């Protein structure tokens, strides 16, 4: 893949967990990058702007060729507690981004979605992403907006949000020697380190992924109970695990998200990736020491 150094990139939500890492990767590759977020960050070429502010956002994006959109509410718990806020921020906000990119005729928009679009779980967060995928496809049909949808699985790593699954389990284990699991331990995830997720996101810039849906998740499946055993071994202490197998809990899928059929996606993988155990150690060292 050829470098497009003369083109300018924008990362909306660039102060967030994944957006920040992708902005870092782009900068290291010598691309010209604008980092946009509603919170102020002390980084070169950063801009404070909420995606609800259409005119200001359009002005900032006016000279950008490629746009990564990571803005919006991503916490499933928060989205279910605040459905109106979720709809406003995710649906209206991201539609603003789509409309601006279409009017500015950007070369491609990269939209952060989720594997939850396949699931009956995920609440208003899942629903907002399903709707946005359909809206984006309609913008593509009506206005020839080129896009790539990135459906992320369970991303983990240092400096994640406090509601991130791996972070919550490590925090409980380190501080209390206990883990509370809202399931029975048989839940399966394909964890992927944030650096690997960012590198695969950059790989999606290849022209063969124009107007495609890509799955970005880990290469190995792991049960929750095995993850807890690994955490105990890494911390070298006994962890008491309490399983709350609440059948009414529909926020998260158990074994697989696949019980809804959205647009089919390709899984994009790397031959090299950060081992889960090494990744857990990194989170412990950087976030809890």
Q: Which residues, including other chains, have CB under 8 Å from residue 202's CB and lie 6 or more apart?
A: 22, 25, 26, 29
Look at strands 32-37 and 46-48 and give their pairing: parallel
Q: What is the per-residue pLDDT for 246?
A: 60
The CATH number assigned to the domain with range 8-287 reads: 3.40.50.720
With both helix axes pointing from N to C terminus, report the angle between 165-176 and 224-235 in degrees, rounded to the nearest 10: 40
Per-residue pLDDT band for 59 (boundaries 50, 70, 90) equals: very high
- The model's pTM is 0.87
Region 244-268: mean pLDDT is 59
Question: What average pLDDT does the chain have?
Answer: 88
How far apart, in Å, are the Cα atoms of 275 and each of 60, 194, 219, 278? 38, 12, 10, 5
Structural element, H or E, at residue 108: strand 108-114
Per-residue pLDDT band for 13 (boundaries 50, 70, 90) equals: very high
List the chain domain ranges.
8-287
Distance CA 192, CA 276 (A): 8
Would you state the structure tokens that stand for residue 181, as one six-digit string? 């699991």
pLDDT in tens, 122-172: 788 888 989 999 999 999 999 999 999 999 988 999 988 888 989 999 999
Using left for φ > 0, alpha for ψ between -120 and 50, and beta otherwise, residue 49 falls in beta
Distance CA 89, CA 83 (A): 10
pLDDT in tens, 257-279: 544 556 667 788 777 788 888 89
Region 69-86: mean pLDDT is 90
End-to-end CA distance of the chain: 39
pLDDT in tens, 27-43: 999 999 999 999 988 88
Look at strands 147-152 and 155-156 and give their pairing: unpaired
User: Hey, is 48 helix, strand or coil?
Assistant: strand
């Amino acid at each position: 893949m050829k470098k497009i150094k003369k083109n300018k990139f924008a990362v909306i939500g660039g102060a967030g967990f994944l957006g920040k890492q992708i902005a870092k990767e782009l900068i290291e590759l010598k691309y010209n990058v604008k980092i946009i977020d509603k919170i102020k960050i002390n980084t070169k070429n950063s801009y404070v702007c909420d995606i609800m502010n259409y005119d200001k956002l359009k002005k900032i994006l006016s000279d950008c060729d490629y746009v990564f959109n990571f803005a919006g509410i991503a916490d499933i718990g928060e989205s279910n507690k605040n459905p109106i806020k979720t709809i406003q921020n995710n649906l209206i906000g991201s539609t603003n981004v789509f409309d601006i990119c279409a009017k500015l005729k950007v070369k491609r928009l990269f939209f952060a979605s989720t594997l939850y679009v396949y699931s009956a779980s995920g609440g208003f967060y899942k629903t907002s992403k399903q709707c946005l995928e359909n809206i984006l496809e309609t913008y593509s049909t009506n206005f020839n907006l080129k896009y790539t949808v990135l459906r992320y699985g369970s991303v983990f790593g240092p400096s994640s949000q406090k509601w991130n699954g791996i972070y919550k389990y490590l925090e409980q284990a380190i501080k209390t020697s206990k883990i509370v699991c809202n399931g029975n331990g048989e839940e399966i995830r394909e964890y992927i380190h944030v650096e690997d997720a960012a590198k695969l996101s950059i790989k999606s810039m290849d022209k063969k992924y124009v107007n495609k849906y890509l799955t970005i998740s880990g290469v190995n499946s792991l049960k929750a109970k095995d993850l807890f055993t690994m955490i105990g071994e890494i911390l070298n202490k006994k962890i008491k695990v309490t399983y709350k197998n609440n059948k009414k809990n529909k926020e998260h899928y158990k074994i697989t998200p696949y019980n809804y059929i959205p647009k089919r996606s390709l899984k994009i993988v790397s031959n090299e990736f950060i081992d889960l155990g090494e990744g857990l150690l990194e989170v412990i060292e950087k976030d809890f020491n």
